[in-house]
Amino acid sequence: MVSRRDVLRLATALPLAVGVGAAPRPARACSCHGYGRSSALPASGVTGVDPRTALVFSTYGYAALRAEARGAFRYWLESGSSRRVPLRREQLGNLVRLTPLEPLAPDTEYGLRTEQTEEARLSRADADGWLTHFRTGPRRPLPPLVEPRLRRIRRRAPLLSSSWCAGRSYQAEFRFDAPAIAPADAGLFRWELSYWDRRADAWTPLQGAPVHTNTYRDTPTAPTESLTVGREQCTSRPVFPLRARRVTLSLVRVDGERRSITGRFR
């Protein structure tokens, strides 16, 4: 005969079902990082950078998408003479791309700096300061594009939880072969992931990433080998639409040329 204590032990071990009137378990304590950036490309200390380079980095943290989307930061590029170069800011998911609106001078030192607005209310240590210093070289032919190779798609179902740390939305991770790109050329390329929107009858960009990245700004960069969509454990990312069935992974060059691979997502 099953005792009442055994029934209660079994009930507390089962996951909380949606729509059941039982009280959720207490949320576990967790520490969520509000906003952070990977190292900006071209990385600090790199020389011989093509003057046509863009400046790119990725973001992480629960406020990453919201902070960039509402313009919580000001960015400016300065030369050695402290002259500011105007920038155009573009965001694709967790990728932020800053494009100089005038040609950069060859053989010149540049530094990218940021400052948050008063409305941002994020940690100054994470959000403010110099992001990178690099030196341009002479203008030369753009490096060739290579065809991307998609290796694996990993999917994870949504996880409902009373804890902010444990819950997640539907996730998909796209792993691919990383092409060999020199550090001086890293700002000339970016990764983009798009899906075919059947309602709009068009390809819709969803997520992006630099070709080199790191988890934290004080760790070495490495070639990017995956793109992930979906929220998880205090990390804000674009959510993959359930209606999406076809996806395209593209390696995009600064002049707009791209190489893509398209697959069906089930």
Q: What CATH fold (topology level) applies to the domain 150-264?
A: Immunoglobulin-like (2.60.40)
> What's the pLDDT at 234?
76
User: Smallest Cα–Cα separation from 251: which of 132, 144, 164?
Assistant: 144
Q: What gap in Å lies between CA 227 and CA 252, rounded to an integer?
A: 14
> What's the pLDDT at 117?
76
> What's the pLDDT at 60?
86
DSSP codes of every residue in 33-87: ---EE---BSPTT--SB-TT--EEEEEESTTHHHHHHTT-EEEEEEETT-PEEPE
Rg (C-alpha) for the chain, rounded Å, is 22
> What's the pLDDT at 215?
67
Torsion of CA 183, 186, 187, 188, to 10 degrees: 130
End-to-end CA distance of the chain: 46
CATH 2.60.40.3710 in the chain is located at 36-135
pLDDT tens, N- to C-terminus, the chain (266 residues): 444 444 333 333 333 333 333 334 444 456 677 788 888 999 999 999 999 999 999 998 888 888 888 778 889 999 977 688 999 999 999 999 999 999 999 999 999 998 877 655 665 555 568 899 999 999 999 999 999 998 888 887 777 665 556 667 778 889 999 999 999 999 999 999 999 888 888 999 999 999 998 766 667 788 999 999 988 777 888 987 766 778 899 999 999 999 999 887 66
CATH class of the region 36-135: mainly beta
Q: What gap in Å lies between CA 255 and CA 36, rounded to an integer?
A: 28
> What's the pLDDT at 19?
32
Q: What gap in Å lies between CA 130 and CA 111, rounded to an integer?
A: 7
* Predicted structure pTM score: 0.81
> What's the pLDDT at 164?
53
> What's the pLDDT at 136?
97
DSSP codes of every residue in 126-165: HHSEEEEEEEB----PPPPP----EEEEEEE--B--SSTT
> What's the pLDDT at 172?
85
